[in-house]
Amino acid sequence: MSEEVIRVAVENVHARVLAVGSAAAGRLIDTLGSEADALWPRGRWPAMRFDRPLQIGAKGGHGPIRYTVADYQPGCGVRFVFDSPSGFHGEHGFEVRSLEDGRCSLRHFLRLQPRGVARLSWPLIYRWLHDACVEDALTRAEISLGLRPRARPWCRWVRVLRCLYRLRKG
C-alpha cells in the first residue's frame, strides 16, 4: 500500500493473526461494501456502502463516517481518506501481511489528526465505537474464514453509547 505523510495525533491499530494464507484474508478485503461483504460486521453496525464497486475514487462510508478510497490493491489492502465527520483529518484502512509460517495478519489502521470538536468527540465517543466495530470486523473475518474466534464483548461505555444513540433515534 502506498502511504502519504500525514501529521498524526492518533494512531490506532487492530490486528489478528489468522491461520490462513494472505490470499484468503485478502479476498475478504475485496468484498468490502458489496452484497457479499465477508469482512464488515454489518449485522451489528451500519453497513459499509460505496457509490460504486471498491476502487480508487469510490465514495462512501458507514453511518456518519464518510470517506473516499485513496488506494486499493486487490487481495492486499485498501486505504480510505476521511471526508467526515467534521474535524476528522486522516485515513484508515485494512491490509494483509504474510507471516513466515503460512499464516497472515489482518490489520486495520487509523491515522488521525482530530481538529475542532473532533478533539473531544474522538476520545470520548468515536474511539470507543471504532475499536468495538473494528474488533467485530476482525471477528467476522475469522468466522468467514471458518476459524473459531474467541468472544470479545463490548465494554460498558460502548453499550451505553449505543443505547443513547438508539434513544436519540427514537
Dump pLDDT digits (tens) for 87-141.
999 999 999 999 999 999 999 999 999 999 999 999 999 999 999 999 999 999 9
Model pTM score: 0.92
Dump pLDDT digits (tens) for 44-70.
999 999 999 999 999 999 999 999 999
The ranges assigned to domains in the chain are 10-169
* CB proximity list for 163: less than 8 A, separation 6 or greater: none
- Rounded to whole angstroms, what are the CA distances from 142 to 47, 86, 103? 18, 33, 13
Q: Return the CATH number of the domain spanning residue range 10-169.
A: 3.30.530.20
